[in-house]
Amino acid sequence: MTDSLAAAFPRLSERLKKISFADLPTPVSTIRFDMPEGSRTISIKHDDVSSARYGGNKIRKLEYLLQRARERNARRVATFGAVGSNHALATAIVGTQCGFDCTCFLMPQKPTPNIPRTLNMHRRIGTELVPLGHAVDRLATLRRYLHGRRCWVIPLGGSSWLGAVGFVNAGLEFARQVSSGEVPLPRRIYIANGTMGSCAGLALGLALAELPTELHAVRVVDSRVASPPGFERLMRKTAMMLSRLDASFPSDLADRTRICWRDDFLAGGYAVADDTTEDAVAVARDALGLKLETTYTGKAMAALLHDMALREYNGEEYLFWNTYSSRPLPVSGDRPSSADSIPQEFMRYFA
């Protein structure tokens, strides 16, 4: 069953369609490894392989978001992010696969190793890249690139109630894997918390499945983007909208969620890494066989490893939800001989 939400709420599935391009369910695994404090066991939910061309958490959201664009007869989809945004790239890759043209409004960020390859992938598939920095007249830019183009706008990170539905489904999917014995019931799940859609949906899905698991949402962005009040609003709106579509869906589901909001591994800001983050990425690589990065998943892994090293840790089951795509991109990170579709101001991200 690739759609646990549809299986649980058939009426909802009739009224809320999606384009099914994710490879679901994503696999789970359990690994034993050594830390200075002793031997530890960690389970992993591999959303890094959520689709064949590009993995990560955004794929689940885009199944619903791109369906809505199709229902609105859009020819183009547009979204927002930083220059190295995984969401923007996922939207462009999957959007073009579904027959849409794609525009990405991108803001400058601290340079990271993945940006050159990301830009070259946009260049390869023909994404329309539009700079949206502080010096840009944003309103005029949006009018220029959106007006009259039959364009459907997808929010930052794909994080709306509709995008969050993808992770309500993920929570139910994971509960099935627990009940079938594929993975132990974790006391805690650790996941990177950016624009909050994945975390909000997952918290609702776990509560819907009545799992007693605590979700540790590790904030990786500025508090203007992710905050407990905003998180609460998104959860409640998602539950309310699903209840409107299917009265059997519990509208008070947000009251049953188990959330631990983590601000302690931000490391100074979005795309900023410290030694703790770097060390966590290295442990994931060397001991767990996971390729993580320092902007999102490295910080969630750092939180998990920190908690496993505490004196009071007593062998409880912890799970890491891997939201970073492990699918290789068919491009290099080399500086292109000509910018072509890459805006000139973005060329500074190449060595």
Model pLDDT for residues 25-37, shown as the tens digit of each residue: 999 999 999 999 9
Residues 26 and 104 both lie in one domain: no
Residue 43 lies in a domain: yes
Round to whole Å and give the CA distance between 102 and 96. Answer: 7
Q: Is the pLDDT at 1 greater than 80, yes or no?
A: no
Across the range 35-62, mean pLDDT stands at 97
Q: Is the pLDDT at 12 greater than 60, yes or no?
A: yes
Q: Is the pLDDT at 186 greater than 50, yes or no?
A: yes
Q: What's the domain range around 305?
A: 4-57+159-322
Residue 223 lies in a domain: yes
Question: Which among 329, 298, 337, 348 is positioned nearest to 117, based on CA atoms?
Answer: 329
What pLDDT shows up at residue 340? 84
Residues 111 and 218 both lie in one domain: no
Per residue in 240-263, is it b (16+ CB within 10 Å) or e — as a string?
bbbbebbeebeeebbeebebebbe
Residue 337 lies in a domain: no
- Stated length of the chain: 351
* 3-state secondary structure (DSSP) of residue 16: coil
Residues 226 and 119 both lie in one domain: no
Across the range 50-72, mean pLDDT stands at 98
| Six token digits for residue 90 | 């996922």
Residue 243 belongs to a domain with what CATH number? 3.40.50.1100
Q: Which residues contact 270 (CB under 8 A, 6 or more apart)?
A: 82, 109, 110, 220, 221, 222, 295
Band (2; pLDDT cuts 50, 70, 90): low
Q: Report the domain count for the chain.
A: 2
Round to whole Å and give the CA distance between 307 and 254. Answer: 26
Residue 259 lies in a domain: yes
CA torsion through residues 309, 311, 315, 319, sign: negative
Residues 176 and 113 both lie in one domain: no
Across the range 279-295, mean pLDDT stands at 98
Across the range 314-320, mean pLDDT stands at 97
| pTM for the predicted model, two decimal places | 0.97
Which residue matches tokens 């509560």?
207
Q: Is the pLDDT at 224 greater than 50, yes or no?
A: yes
